Amino acid sequence: MLRIDPGPSRKPADCVRPQTGTVPDIETTYAGALSERVVQAEAQRAALVAAIEETRSARRLMVADDEHDPDGSTASLDQARDVALLEQTDRTLSELAEAQQRLASGTYGICEVCGRPIPPARMLARPETRRCVVCAAAQVDRRGRRS
């Protein structure tokens, strides 16, 4: 025989969701965004290295064929652009690695200049950022150019 007990003695504690902490899973939110960016940057880096190598081989062939090939200047412009992009991608990769370290050490999302929290919208748009919008803008002004 089944005995159905409505259970008036059910503990109210069961209904309370346990609090895991005051910070709402900042690591889960940004760790995903960071590793996504690392994957993107590494793919871009590989593509650039391949493109640079391809341009180099093409130039070697062209130089061997005709030293005064008019396409030579276009190829070197392409290469200069790719090399600049590669340097930028390398910087992004090291910034991302630093951001992952900050995430691990608990200083992630804090502006390195003013010490205020960086707004989540900015962090998600550029998870490797180290400065809040105000301080980043101030730095651009000091340099006298926009980036």
Per CB under 5 A, residues contacting Zn ion are 111, 113-114, 132, 135
Torsions phi, psi for 110 (to 5 deg): -105, 130
Q: How far is the CB of 51 from Zn ion (least distance, A)?
A: 37
Measure the CA angle with vertex 72, ends 66 and 77; round to 5°.
170
Which SS3 state, helix, strand or coil, does residue 110 take?
A: strand
- Our CB check for Zn ion shows the closer of 79 and 129 to be 129
- Our CB check for Zn ion shows the closer of 17 and 146 to be 146
- Our CB check for Zn ion shows the closer of 93 and 113 to be 113
- Our CB check for Zn ion shows the closer of 50 and 133 to be 133
- In a 13 Å sphere around the CA of 87, the CA atoms on its Cβ side amount to 5
Which SS3 state, helix, strand or coil, does residue 8 take?
A: coil
Q: How far is the CB of 114 from Zn ion (least distance, A)?
A: 3
Q: How far is the CB of 136 from Zn ion (least distance, A)?
A: 8
Q: How far is the CB of 120 from Zn ion (least distance, A)?
A: 15
CB 52 within 8 A of CB 79: yes
